[in-house]
Amino acid sequence: MPTIDFGNGELEFRCTARTLVIYEQAFYNDKYPRVTGDMIADVFGKRVVGEDSLGLKFDDDGNIEAIVVDYTTDNWQAELRALWAMLRTQAEIDKKNGVKRDPIPIFNTWSESVSDWEPDMREVSNMVYEEMNRGLFRAGAAASE
């Protein structure tokens, strides 16, 4: 399982179908009016597929002119919310299996508890995307269980 350290020890997190429910129950309400409550839509958003979808710009001769890093394609807050939902999922699994650990509090309390954490958001983004793909979009997922 992937882990993350907020400065007080590593915590495992996991993405399952249950994670989608946890996310929706926490964020589909009036407190978060710009959030859809759909973790997949909030995190992955809209992706444009084409020759420049990797952020490449080409000159008139077809040579690479520049590589563009567009941070607006990532929904950074949604990735943090998704990470939180994955931490809650793992906490539920641990509790069900009799593993002793501190519960993950509601999102606002959790975000306050990790306020000193200085994340590399690219790393967080990569971890969230990787775990969502592993947990939700695996080919033959039902057969592999």
Q: Give, as one character, the DSSP assignment of residue 2.
A: -
Q: Give, as one character, the DSSP assignment of residue 104.
A: P
Those residues whose C-beta lies under 8 Å from the C-beta of residue 90, and which sit 6 or more positions away, are 1, 11, 12, 13, 14
Contact between 4 and 117 under an 8 Å Cβ cutoff? The reply is no
- Per-residue pLDDT, averaged over 17-36, amounts to 87
For residue 45, the model assigns a pLDDT of 76
* pLDDT one-digit tens code per residue, 6-24: 887 899 999 999 999 999 9
Phi/psi at 33 (5° precision): -65, -25
Q: Between 65 and 12, where is the model more confident? A: 12
Query: Is residue 145 pLDDT above 50, yes or no?
Result: no
Sketch the domain layout of the chain as residue ranges: 3-139
Query: Is residue 50 pLDDT above 50, yes or no?
Result: no
pTM above 0.85, yes or no: no
* pLDDT one-digit tens code per residue, 68-101: 555 556 788 899 999 999 999 999 999 999 999 8
